[in-house]
Structure 1
Amino acid sequence: MLSASDRAVIVRTLAAKLNANYIEPAVADRVSRAIARKNAEGGYGSTASAQAFSEALAKDLRDLSGDLHFGARVDERFRERGTDADVPSRAEMDEARAQTLQGGYEIQKVERLPGNVGYIELRGFGAPEFVGPAYTAAMSLMMGTDALILDLRRNGGGFAASVAYLMSHFFPPGDVRHLNDMYYRPENATTQFWTVRSVAPRYDKPVYVLTSARTGSAGEECAYDFQTQQRGTLVGETTAGAANPPCPFSVGHGIVVGIPAGRSINPITKTSWEGVGVKPDIAVPAAQALQAAHVAILRNLVSSAKDDKERTKLQGVLAMVEKGETETPVYTLRGKR
């Protein structure tokens, strides 16, 4: 349980780490003062446990700053970066690898839709050392399709390096693209993210990317990369608007606060999607985005059909998709209807 003096120490520690690390110094000062004032007035008096206090801090940090990447949790095992124990152990790496495998590399679905349209639903971007081969396997299954839909509507983010690895499949061999920069205030250093020259196979057909208001962080970067590199068409809703990557910091009593210490900088636009989101090229409610993208693709395929037979077949598929129908057969048990 936390005492009033415990909370006061945590708030002072949080203020120091905010002011030293948050990417917007003026905002850090304003937010830390507001939290200190609330604590002094007894505003956190009902948060007796570390868990309750961390949840209250996370909400206030997000509300006061407008930065969705702020967060807080309780983790007694956390080791702050820069310490001797910062390097993960073999056991921790094995555990992370097992969790990634169990989660299917966050590849929720790989499917071939009517009209020979590929579909991949990706829920997040795991660590690149784990997910890279899975991305390549999924893309290998898509190579015979005439267009691809990448569904990021439920993608909450992850690793920028994994975004770069996935994006590498969508440019010709030898065409290396500079996708994103991340400036980190604590180190006063910038990390660049480029596509990977050695990645194969390479997909050269049209790509449509589905977005929603839930698409966040690295999921937004992926959509933004497709848009700014003019490699894909975005369909759906404006994304969440979270571009400042967080770093975890201990503030005491097992509470770990995620402080956005970095800033994403697109090399083409010289800005990011922070606070504004990524705007789709075709704006529709998220629930209608898959159908809208599928219809747009099929209309293009009808226009470019090589002969009347193919055109007629595609027109039939288009009519079906426009009505919201499906080719998937409905199976019943023998003797039942």
Structure 2
Amino acid sequence: MAQHTPSLLLMLLLCTLSANASFQPALVLEMAKILLENYCFPENLVGMQEAIQQAIHSGEILQISDKKTLAAVLTVGVQGALNDPRLTVSYEPNFVPVMPPVLPSLPKDQLIRLVRNSVKMDVLENNVGYLRMDRIIGEETAAKLGSLLRDNIWDKLARTSSLIFDLRYSTAGELSGVPFIISFFADPEPLIHIDTVYDRPLNKTRELWTMPSIIGERYGKKKDVIILTSKRTMGAAEAVAYTLKNLKRAITVGERSAGGSVKVQKIRIAKSEFYITVPVARSVSPITGQSWEVSGVSPTINTVAKEAIAKARSLLAIRSAIPKVVQMALQASKVLLTKWADGLYRSVVDFESLASQLTADLQETSGDHRLHVFHCDVEPESLHEIPKIPTAEEVGYMIDALFKIELLPGNVGYLRFDMMVDIEVVRAIGPQLLKLVWSKIVNTDALIIDMRYNSGGYSTAIPLLCTYFFDAKPLIHLYTVFDRTTDTMTEVMTFPNVRGQRYGSSKDLFILTSHMTGSAAEVFTRAMKDLNRSTVVGEPTIGGSLSSGTYQIRDSVLYASIPNQVVLSAITGKMWSFSGVEPHVIAQANDALSVAQRIIAARLLKKEQGN
């Protein structure tokens, strides 16, 4: 709430007064006195009465004769000064105060009738509970009707699988009932501090906590709860919605609530026919440090009030799939199930947000950033479908598109290719590849293979590519692959024979990497590094997987991309980490080529000096 000085309050009050009117200064003094004694933000009013008294004596207050105009002007002044739209001044010569009935004092049959008119309960399809509460029942009333509420509402609701809590029409109620409702959706321990209420006339502060025991069976904190709100939702109902939302215990659907007050009183100004409506108590949430008063409760999902129940049912249908999806992900990860049980999936409102949450949690719990869950309405095509063998007309275009070669100074070859091609495709285009690419770099004194932009592709041609950089004998064990889908272990070796000329095992070979280098490109780089056949220059690689399978999660529209092959080092026999390949020489990707050239030049110079 914005604070203003008393003189600013006075100026805002007075500057709007007409120069042709008359009124009694005592009215303003009495109004100031009421505010000082009752307004729930007394710190904003320090010195106000003295400032008004001085202004009256100095003759600054002008005259207004029309009493309704005066009331409107005073309302504008006090609201503007204190930035509080709840403060209103009215002229009501025929006002008759109506005291609301003190509910606990009513006969039991009247109480029962009132509760039945304001609380409705039903069980919808798929065991979804529906609770409409148009009035928040206070603590004393709830105690008086305990068995009735327990048998007809709470215990029946407790047996439902999820709940729609309809507060769209709740415009009245008692704040003392809020702790019981919040407790219904919480565990007995630990107790939760849910609100702090300051009452200005009593000058007392009261803390509201959940209750260690309640009448009836608790709903608990695990099952889904969706709260419906509208522009009419006010007062204690806002306290319920605000608290459950910020405890992340419920999802709110509908419209922003009214922004009411904990307690408002209409107070007669002295013996006049003017009244001032004043918020006399204020609420501060210990969860947020703020309040639902004035600003209201903003819904998690915005929709017009009349469509809120349909939106809630649709949302529950989506969320009902979460436990099954979580259970399937990573072979029913206990960590994910625990997160679901603890209500940490409350923010999930559609399949996209569910996929994002699952991806984050799977990566966090496994430490493997390669795990990915995505939403797709149409079954996705396989990421590694059977490769298409190019026609004779397509070969030339394909080679130009995939491979870039250059002869650098010092008879250094440069080969860049941005995708690992399937071995059957390589065999199909072999003759043209040897003629147009390989023959131009095979006789260089050193070779730079640029993998900085190669994010992967097919792994089948990796052993063939490696073979060109080793001698025919002996065959070299490159790495071992464990395939999870078939539970088979395969040692990957160099080939005894290849088409064309080998580069051999003695000439310098450099591989350039970046944070984009991934999957099969990483496996090639890692194998050549492990076998001390190349110098790797650039950035650590992405840490991808040799092969990932795409699996539909049950019969949902969610799919999981899961690495299904493990690569073991030929040197150590240990699994390669998915943290990527660490270069021998760390350099920014943009500088990697020039760094490699400088190293080659230095090595050539050293050889010449040695000779």
TM-score normalised per structure 1: 0.71
* Structure 1 residues 228 and 80: alpha-carbon distance in aligned structure 2, compared to 1, 3 A threshold: closer
Alpha-carbon deviation of 1:294?
0.7
Paired AA for residue 12 in structure 1 = K
Q: Within 5 A, what are the aligned runs for 1:236-255?
A: 236-243=538-545, 245-251=547-553, 252-255=555-558
Query: How far does residue 4 in structure 1 lie from its aligned partner after superposition?
Result: 3.8
SS of the residue corresponding to residue 603 of structure 2 reads: helix
Q: Which residue of 1 aligns with 2:135?
A: none
Contact 1:236 1:283 in 2 (8 A): yes
Tell whether the 8 Å contact from 2:473 to 2:496 is kept in structure 1 after alignment.
yes
Q: Which amino acid aligns with 1:67?
A: D
Q: Quickly say closer, same or farther: Cα 1:15–1:227, change in 2 above 3 A.
A: same
Whether contact under 8 Å (2:463, 2:494) holds in the other structure is yes
Q: SS at the partner of 2:478?
A: strand
The amino acid across from 2:483 in the alignment is Y
| Residue 367 (structure 2) aligns with | 66
Q: Which moved more, 1:29-38 or 1:152-161?
A: 29-38
Superposition deviation, residue 150 in structure 1: 0.7
- Three-state SS of the structure 1 residue aligned to 2:460 is helix
The aligned amino acid for 1:65 is S
Query: How far apart are residue 293 of structure 1 and its match?
Result: 0.6
Q: Report the counterpart of residue 257 of structure 1 in structure 2.
A: 560
**Are the structure 2 counterparts of residues 288 and 87 from structure 1 closer, same or farther at C-alpha, using a change threshold of 3 Å?**
closer
| Residue 42 of structure 1 pairs with residue 42 of structure 2 | no
**Following TM superposition, by how much is the alpha carbon of 1:32 offset from its aligned partner in structure 2, in angstroms?**
3.8
Greater gyration radius:
2
Aligned-partner Cα distance in 1 for 2:399–2:367: 33
Aligned: 1:190 with 2:492: no
- Residue in 2 that maps onto 1:202: 502
**1:138-157 Cα deviation digits (max 9, x unpaired):** 33321121110011122222
Q: How does 1:115-134 map to 2 (within 5 A)?
A: 115-132=410-427, 133=430
**How many aligned positions are there?**
290
SS at match of 2:592: helix
Instruction: Mark the CA change 1:168 to 1:14 in structure 2 (over 3 Å): closer, same or farther.
Output: farther
Tell me if the contact between 1:69 and 1:244 (Cα under 8 Å) persists in the aligned partners: no
Whether the 8 Å CA contact 1:97–1:130 is kept in 2: the answer is no
Deviation at 1:166, TM superposition (A): 0.9
Deviation at 1:221, TM superposition (A): 1.3
Look up the match of 2:591: 288
**After superposition, what is the alpha-carbon deviation per residue over 1:259-284, rounded to whole angstroms, capped at 9, x for unaligned?**
12321111212224424422222222
**What runs of 5+ residues in structure 2 fail to find an aligned partner?**
1-310
**1:226 match:** 528
Distance 1:104 1:4 in 2: 52
Structure 1 segment 160-179 matched on structure 2, within 5 A: 160-179=459-478
Question: What is the CA-CA distance between 1:258 and the residue it aligns to?
Answer: 1.0
Shift of the alpha carbon at 1:299? 2.1
Query: SS at the partner of 1:256?
Result: strand
Does 2:461 match 1:156? no
Partner of 2:300: none
CA contact (8 A) 2:459 2:546 kept: no
2:324, 2:363 → 1: CA distance? Answer: 18
State the 1:232 CA deviation: 0.9
Choose between structure 1 and 2: higher helix proportion.
1
Q: Which has the higher contact order (CA 8 A, sep 6+)?
A: 1
* CA shift digits 1:222-253 (9 cap, x unpaired): 11111111111111222223346321111234
Judge conservation of contact 1:209–1:223 (CA < 8 Å) in 2.
yes
Q: Find the aligned partners of 1:35 and 1:98 in 2 and give their Cα distance.
A: 56
Is residue 144 of structure 1 aligned with residue 443 of structure 2? yes
Deviation string, structure 1 residues 18-66 (Cα, Å, up to 9, x no partner):
21xxxxxxxx624542664588733321x356xx654554444334433
| Separation (CA, whole Å) in 1 of partners of 2:403 and 2:424 | 19
Q: Establish whether residue 235 from structure 1 lines up as the match of residue 522 from structure 2.
A: no
Q: Secondary structure at the match of 1:121?
A: strand
Equivalent position to 1:15, from 327, 351, 361: 327
* Partner of residue 517, structure 2: 215
Cα deviation for residue 216 of structure 1 reads 1.9
Partners of 2:490 and 2:316 in 1: CA distance: 41
CA contact (8 A) 2:517 2:542 kept: yes
| Helix, strand or coil at the partner of 1:42 | coil
Aligned to 2:194: none
Aligned residue type for 1:191: T
Distance 1:101 1:221, change over 3 A: farther
Q: How does 1:75-154 map to 2 (within 5 A)?
A: 76-78=378-380, 93=388, 104=399, 107-132=402-427, 133=430, 136=434, 138-154=437-453
Q: Is the 2:539–2:588 contact (alpha carbons within 8 Å) kept by the matching residues of 1? A: yes
Q: CA RMSD in A?
A: 3.8
When the two structures are superposed, what TM-score results if normalisation uses the length of structure 2?
0.42
Of the structure 1 ranges 120-129 and 55-64, higher mean CA displacement relative to structure 2 is found in 55-64
Q: Hey, what does 1:33 align to over in structure 2?
A: 337
Task: Report the CA distance shift for 1:94/1:243 in structure 2 as closer, same or farther (over 3 A).
Answer: closer
Q: Quick one: distance in 1 between partners of 2:357 and 2:421?
A: 28
Q: Which moved more, 1:132-141 or 1:208-217?
A: 132-141
**Contact 1:244-1:274 within 8 A present in 2 as well:** no
Q: Distance in 1 between matches of 2:588 and 2:400?
A: 27
Question: Distance between the aligned counterparts of 1:66 and 1:118, measured in 2?
Answer: 39
Amino acid of the structure 2 residue aligned with 1:287:
N
Contact kept, 8 Å, 1:244 with 1:264, in 2: the verdict is: yes
8 A Cα contact 1:106 1:126, kept in partner: no
| Mean Cα deviation higher: 31-40 or 190-199 | 31-40
